[in-house]
């Protein structure tokens, strides 16, 4: 491994983690960057409170969706000026697929896999229903995707990293295969952005979407992002054609004229207070090199897998064993996984559970180090070896997240 340039001790100090918590759930909701609280307070008190309506200009609120987009773009290999933030990931999936379908006239099939996060499938199901009975969402097993890319396919929509197992698709190869078949691609980077290097431009990706509240640490309900390749950016006519994507929103024209490039993917009024938190979160990312993050992530996940497998024979690895085949999370299957996760949370190891039997742990080098991993492994070993999960209280808890 080459020498790391990222100072992970410094980035760790930029987070405010509760005492006694080993937070292995930054892949679900990233923790609070210390600077975010002050940055949000500034947005609320100084900007909203004092500038009032003039904040749109004077505090730069109107420009933030694109500025934040560019800062995210650096982490995912996007060309500058081709990422914008806003809305939720579900909405951005809808926008991307609707746009991709418009660029592939005559084709009616969206291909995805059954490892995709359900909302992506739901949103496309709703989109295609409104487009008429000729359209089809075709869902195959992840390993069957490549063979299913035929010349019927309009859009290949995949989440690069599986939310349950961490299994990683080959973005470059599948994009090339899709293009060879005349299809376009929509990549969901929910479990990729900030988790591993992504090279959208290098892979020739067409559209990408993602959220910012996981690895990017933008806070609960932080806005999503969307990428449109330069060759498409001035071609697509957005289905969700909101006023802030208009060429001149404040001309209040009655007819929609799409804005320049990625700006047309904006829809409504951006969430200024959430953007303030996200901005502080991206300050931490400005100190990180994605290659370093990936190297450290692999070191941590390998340490975790070795430790858990040595101590807990009842836990079956659900993630690919080859680190090159997985994202920055590790999942184990265990029939009583829900109760076991509750037992871990009660002991300060926070991961999460995904039905039916997945115990999921995220590795986020910006604030998790090898010492944390070893401490977490010791607690997992205690819970499993002493059957601490076998407690009615852990089994009956309401399942919300």
Residues at the annotated binding site for pyridoxal 5'-phosphate?
A: 89-90, 117-120, 159, 188, 191, 213, 243, 269
Token pair listed for 386: 């002493």
Tokens standing for 340?
């076991």
> Which of residues 7, 10, 13, 118 is near its own copies by CB under 8 A?
118
For residue 256, indicate whether it is catalytic: no
Q: Which of 213, 332, 353, 394 is catalytic?
A: 213
Q: Does 398 bind its own copies (CB under 8 A)?
A: yes
Is 360 labeled as catalytic in the residue annotation?
A: yes
Does the footprint of its own copies cover residue 129 (CB under 8 A)?
Answer: yes
Instruction: Report 137-156 residues binding its own copies (CB under 8 A).
Output: 139
In the DSSP assignment, the letter for residue 132 is -
> Among 7, 253, 316, 393, which residue interacts with its own copies (rule: CB under 8 A)?
253
For residue 270, give the DSSP letter. -
Spot the catalytic one: 214, 264, 296, 326.
214
Active site residue 188: yes
**How many residues sit close enough to its own copies to count as binding (CB under 8 A)?**
92
What sign does the CA torsion over 215, 220, 223, 224 have? positive
- How far is the C-alpha of 273 from the C-alpha of 294, rounded, in Å? 30
Tell me the window of 66-74, 200-208, 231-239, 368-376 that interacts with its own copies (CB under 8 A): 231-239
Q: Would you call 143 exposed, middle or buried from its count of C-beta atoms within 10 A (0-12, 13-18, 19+)?
A: exposed
| 290 phi/psi in degrees, rounded to 5 | -65, -30
CB of 252 vs its own copies, minimal distance in Å? 5
**Would you call the peptide bond into 110 cis, given omega within 30 degrees of 0 as the criterion?**
no
- Binding string, 333-362, against its own copies, x = CB under 8 A? ------------x----x-x-xx-------
The helix or strand, by DSSP H or E, that contains position 59, with its residue range, turns out to be: none
Answer yes or no: 214 catalytic: yes
| Selected range binding its own copies among 233-241, 299-307, 365-373, 379-387, rule: CB under 8 A | 233-241
Please tell me the number of Cα atoms within 13 Å of 115 on its side-chain side: 20
**Spatial distance between the Cα atoms of 198 and 200, rounded to a whole number of angstroms:** 6
Q: 317 pairs with which residues across the strands?
A: 332
Binder among 22, 40, 96, 290 for its own copies (CB under 8 A): 40
Tell me if residue 177 is catalytic: no
| Residue 180 contacts its own copies per CB under 8 A | no
Neighbours of 325 (CB within 10 A): 14
Q: Is 1 in the site for its own copies (CB under 8 A)?
A: no
Question: Which segment (4-12, 74-82, 116-124, 299-307) binds its own copies by CB under 8 A?
Answer: 116-124
Q: Which of 111, 96, 100 shows the shortest CA–CA distance to 151?
A: 111
Retrieve residue 38's tokens.
């002050």
Q: Which range touches its own copies (CB under 8 A), out of 148-156, 214-222, 227-235, 373-381?
A: 214-222
Out of 14, 75, 100, 127, the only residue in the binding site for its own copies (CB under 8 A) is 127
Q: Which of residues 268-327 bind its own copies (CB under 8 A)?
A: 268-275, 277
Task: Give residues 52-81 in contact with its own copies (rule: CB under 8 A).
Answer: 52-57, 61-62
Binders of its own copies in range 254-273 (CB under 8 A) = 254-256, 267-273
Supply 41's token pair.
Answer: 């307070």
- Asked if residues 362 and 290 have their Cβ atoms less than 8 Å apart, the reply is no
- Which residue number, 135 or 389, has a Cβ lying nearer to its own copies? 135
Dist. CA 343–CA 388, nearest whole Å: 7
Instruction: With contacts defined by CB under 8 A, name the span among 74-82, 149-157, 196-204, 250-258 that binds its own copies.
Output: 250-258
In this structure, what token pair is assigned to residue 154? 């309009």
Residue 96 near its own copies by CB under 8 A: no
C-alpha of 73 from chain center: 13
Quote the CA–CA distance of 83 and 79 in Å, as a whole number. Answer: 8
Q: Give the nearest distance from C-beta 176 to its own copies in angstroms.
A: 27
Contacting residue, 14, 22, 32, 154, with its own copies by CB under 8 A: 32
Active site residues: 117, 188, 213-214, 360
């Amino acid at each position: 491994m080459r020498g790391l340039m990222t100072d992970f001790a410094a980035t760790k100090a930029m987070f405010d983690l509760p005492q006694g918590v080993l937070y292995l759930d930054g892949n679900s909701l990233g923790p609070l960057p210390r600077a975010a609280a002050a940055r949000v307070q500034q947005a609320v008190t100084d900007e909203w409170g004092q500038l009032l309506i003039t904040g749109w200009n004077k505090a730069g609120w109107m420009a933030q969706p694109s500025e934040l987009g560019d800062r995210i773009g650096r982490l995912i290999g996007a060309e500058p000026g081709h990422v914008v933030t806003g809305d939720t990931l579900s909405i951005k999936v809808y926008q991307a697929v609707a746009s991709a379908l418009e660029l592939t006239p005559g084709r009616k099939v969206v291909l995805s896999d059954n490892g995709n996060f359900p909302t992506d499938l739901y949103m496309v199901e709703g989109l295609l229903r409104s487009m008429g009975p000729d359209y089809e969402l075709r869902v195959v097993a992840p390993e069957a995707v490549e063979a299913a890319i035929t010349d019927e396919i309009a859009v290949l929509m995949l989440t690069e990293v599986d939310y349950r197992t961490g299994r990683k698709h080959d973005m470059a190869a599948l994009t090339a295969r899709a293009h060879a078949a005349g299809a376009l691609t929509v990549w969901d980077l929910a479990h990729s952005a900030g988790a591993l290097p992504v090279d959208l431009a290098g892979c020739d990706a067409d559209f990408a979407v993602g959220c910012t509240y996981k690895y990017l640490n933008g806070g609960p309900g932080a806005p999503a992002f969307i990428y449109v390749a330069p060759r498409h950016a001035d071609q697509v006519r957005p289905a969700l054609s909101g006023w802030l994507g208009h060429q001149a929103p404040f001309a209040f024209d009655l007819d929609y004229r799409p804005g320049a490039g990625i700006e047309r993917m904006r829809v409504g009024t951006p969430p200024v207070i959430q953007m303030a938190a996200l901005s502080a979160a991206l300050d931490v990312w400005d100190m990180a090199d994605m290659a370093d993050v990936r190297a450290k992530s692999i070191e941590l996940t390998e340490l975790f897998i070795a430790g858990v497998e040595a101590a807990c024979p009842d836990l079956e690895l659900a993630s690919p064993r080859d680190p090159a085949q997985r994202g920055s999370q590790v999942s184990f299957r265990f029939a009583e996984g829900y109760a076991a996760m509750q037992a871990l949370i009660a002991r300060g190891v926070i991961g999460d559970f995904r039905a039916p039997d997945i115990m999921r742990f995220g590795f986020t080098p910006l604030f998790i180090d090898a010492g944390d991993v070893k401490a977490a492994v010791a607690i997992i070993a205690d819970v499993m070896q002493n059957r601490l999960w076998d407690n009615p209280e852990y089994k009956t808890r309401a399942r919300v997240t």
